[in-house]
Amino acid sequence: MALLRSVRGFTPKLGEACFLAETAVVIGDTVMGDHCSVWYNAVVRGDVNAIRIGDRVNIQDGAVLHCTYERAALTIGNDVSIGHNAIVHGCSIKDKVLIGMGSIVMDHAVIGEGSVIAAGAVVLQNTIVEPGSLMAGVPAKRIGPVSADLSQNEIERIAKNYRLYASWFTEG
């Protein structure tokens, strides 16, 4: 069973039909919307500041979500995929975003709606990513717009598929 832990008087709140893998960790001042999933060895650590997660968000294996004490909370919109081993720290991620595997998004960055952060990219502190941007590299730079194909066949497909995958683990 996943570890849900209260810290400093805050207890995680989960929406309807969320899936938490057995080794997932969700701590403290964390509020998660409906139909979310937190996968194996992922950590959502709301111990030092608030974490707010929208609906239909998947936090894949090994990802770490955290904040900075008294300085940077974390907000994530709807239909967001956080890839395997990504680090998302004290930032704002708007709706329909794909955060690629192994990428890092730092404090006070804002990832605009419909954007893709490529695998391994590092979005530096205070970076503002325009909606619909494809970002890659270290540090991450805009390499172009997110095409309709990329939006449909990656952002939307992955978000939808993770709801399916979660259903496999919650069936009677």
Q: What is the pLDDT of residues 9-34, one digit of tens each?
A: 999 999 999 999 999 999 999 999 99
Identify which of 50, 42, 38 has the alpha carbon closest to the alpha carbon of residue 87. 42
pLDDT tens track, the chain, 172 positions: 899 999 999 999 999 999 999 999 999 999 999 999 999 999 999 999 999 999 999 999 999 999 999 999 999 999 999 999 999 999 999 999 999 999 999 999 999 999 999 999 999 999 999 999 999 999 999 999 999 999 999 999 999 999 999 999 987 6
pLDDT score of 170: 84
Domains of the chain, earliest start first: 3-170 (2.160.10.10)
pLDDT score of 171: 73
3-state class of 134 per DSSP?
strand
The radius of gyration of the chain from alpha carbons, rounded to an integer in Å, stands at 15
- Predicted model pTM: 0.96
What stretches of the chain adopt beta strand conformation (E)? 3-5, 19-20, 25-32, 37-38, 43-53, 58-59, 64-66, 74-76, 81-82, 87-89, 92-93, 98-99, 104-105, 110-111, 116-117, 122-123, 128-129, 133-136, 141-145
Burial of 172 (0-12, 13-18, 19+ CB in 10 A): exposed
Tokens of 167: 């259903």
Tokens of 169: 């683990």
Q: 104-105 and 116-117 as β-strands: parallel, antiparallel, unpaired? A: unpaired
